[in-house]
Amino acid sequence: MRLIAEDLACERSGRVVFRDLSFAVEAGEALAVVGPNGAGKSTLLRLVAGLLKPSAGTLTIAVEDSDADADAAVAERVHYLGHKDALKPALTPVEILEFWSAWLGDAPKGASPRAALERVGLLHTADLPSAYLSAGQRKRLSLARLLVAPRPVWLLDEPTNALDVASQETLRGLCADHAGSGGLIMIATHAETGIPTRSLALGGRA
Amino acid sequence: MKAFLALFRRDLRIAARIGGGGGTGLVFFLILVTIVPFAIGPDLNLLSRIGPAILWIAATLATLIGLDRLFQADEEDGSLDILMTGTMPLPLLVLAKGLAHWAATGLPLALFAPVLGLLLALEPAAMGAVFVTLLVGTPALTFIGAVGAALTASLRRGGLVLAVLVLPLMIPILIFGVSAAAAALGGTVPFKTPFLMLCGLSLAAVAIGSLGAALALDSAGE
């Protein structure tokens, strides 16, 4: 599996964020998207997730012919982990993960909600309304979403924000496992995460 | 189908819990209908004549409360982004959310209307008619409102814009709802004529509203 972007351009309300951006991410690879504030890192990830439409260029996923759902859209193969944590304060972590598992994953079964919570070290909060979680715990709960519905492409926008040292180690482990099983990862980051194998620099002011 | 039911259940669950805001519209409905007899005075004939209209006006306004949160709540916390990366087509997403919203806000209005009819000196036949017309008509109000909710999802304090946008489109529902309820009390028009119009409008509103709101959500990414 291979994620290919050709001559991507993006405009937000008339202002060009980036243009002529081409790159490819191979299976088992992690690509770090780096650049100063406002360079368009988050925009690029949202574009790949299908939440924004490119003003020019194409974005495709090349898969082996044997793949069953070869013509699924790119957006249906990605996990997007943005700045907002997409958690409902009234629901418990288990309820939230059960929902995302049903909504995002249709083909292969992912980890059970409790197994995913254990992986990110939140099993003790499984039945607590998520309003009581701290910022770091919320981030870890968002990460658990990636585990309950397996999807090949992970788009992580500043995933280390609010995470303590141990949780950053967990994140590294999750990413290594994902890449090891043939997944693709794109990380927008400022910090040294220790995950990526390659980096894509977005220019500041073009 | 599994995803559709999951979203429906999730939204109902959120509405039912503390802070979900499921009961706000209902309480507004109760307040509005309760104060009307005090304002109008103890003229029972007058009350029972305008009762169905009062209930329908109150239900329409109560529907507007909370509609602005239909997509905005998911937009604010980022859930909408993740929902959009699902495999479910957008109109079905809107349908699931709309149905859950209706079950949490519109359905209780229809269920409580006959009880409140007592305050307005409604006859049993009129209570039944108001219940049935609200049951059929409130989904239309919700789904017409869903289009406005989708358009104003990323606007803070979008409630006012939403009301201005959708209230004119709700007028036909109001007209046929009230005339069907009034026809049940006797008159030249049989109950069935305006009621079937209301049913048709309601079905069309659910279909067109789902598509329209999906378009509005989709175009937000441009």
What is the tens place of the pLDDT at every residue in B195-209?
999 999 999 999 999
- Give, as one character, the DSSP assignment of residue B191: T
> How far apart are the C-alpha atoms of A37 and B46, rounded to whole Å?
67
The residue in chain A having the minimum alpha-carbon distance to the alpha carbon of residue B16 is: A90
In the beta sheet, which residues pair with residue A5? Answer: A23, A59
pLDDT, tens digit, for every residue of B144-178? 999 999 999 888 777 888 999 999 999 999 999 99
For chain B, what's the residue count? 222
Domain limits, chain A: 2-201
Q: Please enumerate residues of B whose Cβ is less than 8 A from a Cβ of A.
A: 2-3, 5-7, 9-10, 13-14, 17-20, 76-79, 81-88, 221-222
A40-60: pLDDT as tens digits: 888 999 999 988 888 888 888
Under DSSP, is residue A82 helix (H, G, I), strand (E, B) or coil? coil
Backbone angles phi, psi at A59, to 5 degrees: -135, 120
CA nearest A14 in B: which residue? Answer: B222
Give yes or no for a contact between B83 and A149, defined as CB atoms under 8 angstroms apart. Answer: no
- pLDDT > 70: percent of chain A: 92
CB distance B32 to B61 below 8 Å? yes
> Would you say residue B5 has pLDDT above 90?
yes
Whether this prediction's pTM lies above 0.80 is answered by yes
Whether residues A51 and B19 touch (CB distance < 8 A) is answered with no
Q: How confident is the model at residue A70 (pLDDT cuts 50, 70, 90)?
A: low
Going across the sheet that includes A56-62, the strands are: A15-26, A2-12, A56-62
The residue in chain B having the minimum alpha-carbon distance to the alpha carbon of residue A49 is B85
Tell which of B5, B69, B75, B79 to mutate to test the A interface (max A CBs under 10 Å): B79
Chain B interface mutation, best of A79, A103, A141, A154, highest count of B Cβ atoms under 10 Å = A103
- Is the ipTM higher than 0.90? The answer is no
- Chain center to CA of A115: 20
pLDDT digits (tens, 9 = 90+) for B93-123: 999 999 999 999 999 999 999 999 998 989 8
Do A86 and B2 lie within an 8 Å CB cutoff?
Answer: no
Name the architecture of domain A2-201.
Answer: 3-Layer(aba) Sandwich (3.40)
pLDDT-derived band at A76 (thresholds 50, 70, 90) equals confident
CB-based contact B158:B150 (threshold 8 Å)? no
Three-class SS of residue B188? coil
- pLDDT tens profile A170-187: 999 999 999 988 889 999
Cβ separation of B221 and A145 shorter than 8 Å? no
Exposed e or buried b for every residue in B153-176, given b needs 16+ CB within 10 A? beeeebbeebbebbbebbeebbeb
Q: Is the dihedral of CA B73, B78, B82, B84 positive or negative?
A: positive
Residues B20, B23: Cα–Cα separation, whole Å: 8
Based on its alpha-carbon atoms, the radius of gyration of chain B, rounded to whole angstroms, reads 18
Q: What is the pLDDT of residues A85-132, one digit of tens each?
A: 889 989 999 999 999 999 987 656 778 889 999 999 999 998 999 999
